[in-house]
Amino acid sequence: MTRTTDDDPPPISRAASPAETTGAHPPGGLDDTTLPGSEYEATRTQVDSPLVPRLHTLQQGSRVGAYVLDRVLARGGFSLVYRATHAGRGTAVALKALHAELASDLDAVVRFEREIEVIQRLNHPNVVEILEHGRLDGRGPPYYVMELLDGCSLDEHLRARGRQSATDALALLEPLCSALDAAHRCGIVHRDIKPSNVFLAEQDGRRRVVLLDFGVAKLLDAPGPALTSSRHVVGTPACISPEQLLGEPVDSRADVYALGVLTYRLLVGEPPFLERSYPMLRQLHLYVDPPRPSARAPVNPALDAVILRAMSKDRRERHPSIAAFLSDLRATVEASRGTGAPSSEAHARRALALYAEVHVDPGAIEEPDDGLLADLELILPFITAESVSAGLTTAAQTGSSVLLTANRADDPGGDLETRRRVVNAALAIHQRLEARAGRDPRIAVRLCLHAGELLESGEGSPAAGKLLEIAAWVPDRPATGVFASPELLADLEIATAGEEGALRRLAAPRPEAS
C-alpha cells in the first residue's frame, strides 16, 4: 500500500491552483496532492475540485483566535487552508486546520501536531514560519497559523523556465540544503523532497527558497511507534529512496537520495526515470541505475558522478550528509566554470531518433514471475542490436527504454533512403517482437520515430536538441505499435492507421504470400 502526502485521488490532468486565481500561495505544501501513477510531481487541487470530498468548512468571517477567516485557499484530504487576517493588525496569514471529521482520528491528529512540532523545532529562515497554533473552539481540531508566501513552487518554475544552468541550480540548492541540514541536525528526516515542496517566495524584491510540507517527516528521536506502519510507503514515487520503498528504517541519507533526484531534474529538465506508473517507478528506483545527466542534456560530465553518487541504491555509497553533498556539488560546479561545458562546444546536426519503451501491466510488475522477467530481459537488447544493424547509435538507455539516433544525409535522396530504412527496421523489429516465442501478453512495446535537430558535443556524443526532449514528442498514453512524426514521414509513402498525440501510427506490414 502506498502512502504519499495529504491526498490520494485518481490520476488526473493538472488543475489550476488557488494561487493561480488569487495571486497568493499558502505555504507548507498545503494544497499539494501527490497522484500515484501521474508523471512524477504533485498537482494543486482547486478549491471547488470534485476530487476532494465536501467536508465541513469554517464560514467566511469566523474568528479563530485573533484572526478572521477570509476564504479557503486550498483543500486536502487531511486539512483545509484559509487565508485569514489579524483582526487588530490587518496582516494576512495562512491558517491550516485539520478537517473536523478527522478530529477523533488519533493518527491524523498526531501527524498534524507532529508537523507543528517539526517546523517549530527548526526555526530556520528557509522553512515556513509558524506564528501560533491551538485548537478550534479550544477542544476541536488542531490548527496553526503561518506566514502567507507570495511566489511559485519550484515545480511551477521549472515547468515555465525549463532546465537550469549549474550556477542557477546551485543558487537554488544552497538555501534548500541549509534547511535540510538544519533539519537533520535536529533529528528530522523530511522524506518527501520534490519540486512542489520547494517554494520560491518573493520578498522585498529578493528570492527566498522555502522548504515546505513536513507532514510525513520522521523524528528520529521520537518515542513510541511510527505514524505509519510497515505496510505503508511514505513519499512520492518519482523521488523516493529505495529504503523507503522497501519499508526499511530511514535516516538522513533518504533525503540525500531525493536531493539527487531533484538536482537531476534541475540540470536535465526531466526526472531520471520517465515512467509514470508507481509499479514501474518502484522497480526502477530499486534495481536500475539512472542514465547519466550528461547523456540527457548539456550538463558538464563532471556533475554526473556527484548526482549518481547521491542516487546510489545502497545508502552506504551515498554522500553521508546533506552538507557533504552540497560541498561536492559546489566544488564540481566551481571547478567546471571556464572549462567549457558541453553546450559551448556542441554543434547542430540533422538527425532522426528511434525511442523504444517497454510497458508492463501494473499488477504484473508488483510481483513479477520468472516468465515475465525472462521476457523483459530480452526485449531491449534485441531492439538495440537490430537498430544498430540498421545504422542507429545508442544515445541513452534506462531500465525500460532506449533512445537511438542516426545522422541524416545532406542530399534529399540520401535522406529519404535513411528515413525509409529506419522506418522499415522499426516495423520489422516490432513485428518480430509480436511473433516472438514465449511472448508475455502483459508486456507492451512501443517504438516512436522522429526527425529533428541534435546538438553534438565536441566528443561526438549527443548533448542536447529537440530529439533528446523525449517528453515533447512521445505521446503520454502508452500504446503498443510503431509511431512516427510527420517530419520523419515527409515524402515517404508509408501507410498509417490513426494518430497518437503528435505521432502517426504506422500500419503493420502485410505478411508476404508464401
C-alpha dihedral sign at 295, 299, 301, 305? negative
* Assigned C-alpha cell, 163: 532546465
DSSP 337: T
Is the Cβ–Cβ distance between 140 and 222 less than 8 Å?
Answer: no
> Can you tell me the distance from the alpha carbon of 253 to that of 324, in angstroms, rounded to the nearest whole number?
11
Distance CA 293, CA 299 (A): 6
First-last CA distance in the chain:
53
- 192 counts as catalytic: yes
Q: Please list, in sequence order, all residues whose beta carbon lies within 8 angstroms of the beta carbon of residue 67, skipping any fewer than 6 positions away.
A: 84, 85, 86, 87, 93, 95, 145
Closest CA to 252 of 197, 211, 175, 193: 193
At residue 405, what is the residue type?
A: T
**Residue 14, class by beta-carbon neighbours within 10 Å (0-12 exposed, 13-18 middle, 19+ buried)?**
middle
Phi, psi of 472 (to 5 degrees): -80, -20
**DSSP 8-state code for residue 15:** P
Using DSSP, state whether 77 is helix, strand or coil.
coil
Cα–Cα nearest to 135, from 127, 144, 126: 144
Instruction: Report the C-alpha gap between 245 and 473 in whole angstroms.
Output: 31
In angstroms and rounded to an integer, the radius of gyration of the C-alpha atoms of the chain is 25
Distance between CA atoms of residues 308 and 6, nearest Å: 30
Let me know: does 492 contact 416? Beta carbons within 8 Å. Answer: yes
DSSP state of 359: E
By C-alpha distance, which of 245, 241, 144, 125 is closest to 193?
A: 241
Q: Which residue in the list 6, 155, 192, 213 is annotated as catalytic?
A: 192
Q: Which one, of 336, 315, 347, lies nearest residue 457 by Cα?
A: 347
Residue 152: CA atoms inside 13 Å, Cβ hemisphere, count? 13
Which of 472, 479, 476, 352 shows the shortest CA–CA distance to 403? Answer: 352
Report the sign of the C-alpha dihedral through residues 244, 248, 249, 252, in that order. Answer: negative
Residues with a catalytic annotation lie at: 192
